[in-house]
Amino acid sequence: MSYEEALKKLKDYGQEHVLAHYGELSETEKENLLTQIEITDFSVLLACKEDKKAAERGEITPLAAMQLPEIEEKREKFQAIGLETIRKGKVGAVLLAGGMGTRLGSDDPKGMYNIGLTKEVYIFQRLIENLMDVVEMSGSWVPLYVMTSDKNHEATVSFLKDKDYFGYNKDYVTFFMQEMAPASDYDGKVYMEEKGKISTSPNGNGGWYSSMYKWGVAEKAMEDGVEYLNVFAVDNVLQRIADPCFVGAVVDGGYAVGAKVVKKCAPDEKIGVICLEDGRPSIVEYYELTQELMNARDEKGDPAYYFGVILNYLFRIADLEKIREKKLPLHVVEKKIPHLDEKGELVKPDAPNGYKFEQLVLDMIHELDGCLPFEVERGREFAPIKNKTGIDSVESARALCKENGIQL
């Protein structure tokens, strides 16, 4: 893209300041900046002005989950179907590891965090150990697709390589990168990270399938016979991955997607709740849950919106293909964004100073025709690490690992 074309594009979005230091750049830096301008989707910035509209929701009604007693009753059948599906190579696992993990506050990718006490136990290692249980049970390797971002790709790839994939078969591990989105101040003006570089951050976990597709990884998976993808977050160190019982329940019911859910521990717990929205499966974020919805009861007297999602979903690829081109809503998230000030000096803020723009995997659920909310015991399968201490932290996850007999 030429300088003139770049300037025109920037003018269309009111972002001419991006070229303020152009004259001071080397030839290579100039070229890189023009390329970045060419590939950046500035239209996301409009979302900070439209956020209120995006937040309007349809009619929310309850969606019943398949609960533990029913699962227990059918466990043997589900398990058999799930194992058969895995043995046929139809199930892949997708690790969402493109996030910045800012709350944990480590400079390394979150999966490289060592939660061990007497020995090294990395988050990636815990996840792979969990997946290995299924490999042993089924006698077959589950293809593992790892999504990274521009900010952590190299560190993630070299760490897993150095650790010899914690015993996983490297032929079954594939990396792909998600896309980035510009980050802006509160007026929607993009920040500059360097004089020749726009500040960007990963564009949320909702783009995982389109990125997987762009990298040719989804097509290769389909060619290899993979029909289901178990998408999971990097931070839940207890979760079961490619869990045969869950796989069996989703396959047996013919669902487009299954969502692992847990009973909420408090009505205002910070966890998205599974429901129907205008009759279609959906997830209401905790901050969107009104007092009325929190207090609503079903016919048994239980809370009507009782089940929270834990970011562990099983998608049927045939259905993902139908929604691949769909634009998901953009979520505008307040963040601390390092940037250059007017003098061209780098500032690392202590408090949020602008927005990043994200698509979320939970919005994919609403696009699909049928969803099975599948209850799991939270004490056994839900130990997310978001913070260093307190709720959903390294501390709380360590305690839960101990309760489950996992040596740290």
Taking alpha carbons only, the member of 124, 200, 115, 208 closest to residue 158 is 124
Give the nearer residue to ligand UTP in terms of CB position, either 82 or 366: 366
| Span from 59-67, 91-99, 261-269, 315-323 in contact with ligand UTP (CB under 6 A) | 91-99
Quick one: residue 150, left, alpha or beta (phi over 0 = left, psi -120 to 50 = alpha)?
A: alpha
Closest approach, Cβ 331 to ligand UTP, in A, equals: 10
Exactly one of 1, 25, 68, 100 binds ligand UTP (CB under 6 A); that residue is 100
**Smallest separation, CB 384 to ligand UTP (Å):** 8
Nearer to ligand UTP, 58 or 352 (CB): 352
* 197 Cβ contact partners less than 8 Å away, ≥ 6 residues apart: 32, 33, 36
204 or 354: whose CB is closer to ligand UTP? 204
Which of these segments, 63-71, 229-237, 248-256, 393-401, binds ligand UTP (CB under 6 A)?
Answer: 229-237
Binding flag, residue 272, ligand UTP (CB under 6 A): no
Query: Of residues 386-405, which lie at the interface with ligand UTP (CB under 6 A)?
Result: 386
Q: Judged by CB, which is closer to ligand UTP: 99, or 308?
A: 99
Least distance CB 198 / ligand UTP (angstroms): 17
| CB neighbour burial string for 363-402, b if at least 16 within 10 angstroms, e if fewer | bbbbbbeebbbbbbebeebbbbbbeeeeebbbebbbebbe
Supply the minimum distance, in Å, between the C-beta of residue 145 and ligand UTP. Answer: 12
Q: How far is the CB of 180 from ligand UTP (least distance, A)?
A: 9
Q: How many CB atoms lie within 10 A of CB 404?
A: 13
The single residue listed with the structure tokens 């466990």 is 75
Instruction: Tell me if 112 contacts ligand UTP by CB under 6 A.
Output: no
Closest CA to 229 of 376, 370, 96, 382: 96
Reduced to 3 states (helix: H, G, I; strand: E, B; else coil), residue 211 is helix
Segment 307 to 326, residues that bind ligand UTP, using CB under 6 A: 311
Chosen residue from 45, 234, 275, 362 binding ligand UTP by CB under 6 A? 234
Number of residues that bind ligand UTP (CB under 6 A): 20
Distance of closest approach, residue 35 Cβ to ligand UTP, in angstroms: 21
Q: Report the C-alpha gap between 261 and 310 in whole angstroms.
A: 6
Among residues 233, 249, 304, 394, the one that binds ligand UTP under rule CB under 6 A: 233
Check if the beta carbon of residue 178 is closer than 8 Å to that of residue 211.
Answer: yes
Segment interacting with ligand UTP (CB under 6 A) among 12-20, 43-51, 71-79, 101-109: 101-109
Least separation in angstroms between CB 357 and ligand UTP: 10
H or E stretch at 277:
strand 273-277
| Site for ligand UTP, residues 143 to 202, rule: CB under 6 A | 147, 178, 202
State the SS3 of 120-179: CCEHHHHHHHHHHHHHHHHCCCCCEEEEECCCCHHHHHHHHHHCHHHHCCHHHEEEEECC
Whether the Cβ atoms of residue 144 and residue 155 lie closer than 8 Å to each other: no
Cα 340 to Cα 193: distance, rounded to the nearest angstrom: 6
Q: Does 103 bind ligand UTP (CB under 6 A)?
A: yes
Give whichever of 366 and 386 is closer to ligand UTP, judged by the CB atom.
386
Asked whether the beta carbons of 203 and 178 are under 8 A apart, the reply is: yes
Side chain identity at residue 13, one-letter code: Y
> Which residue sits closest to ligand UTP, CB atoms considered?
99
- Say how many C-beta atoms besides its own lie within 10 A of residue 17's C-beta: 13
Residues that bind ligand UTP (CB under 6 A): 96-103, 147, 178, 202-205, 233-235, 311, 358, 386
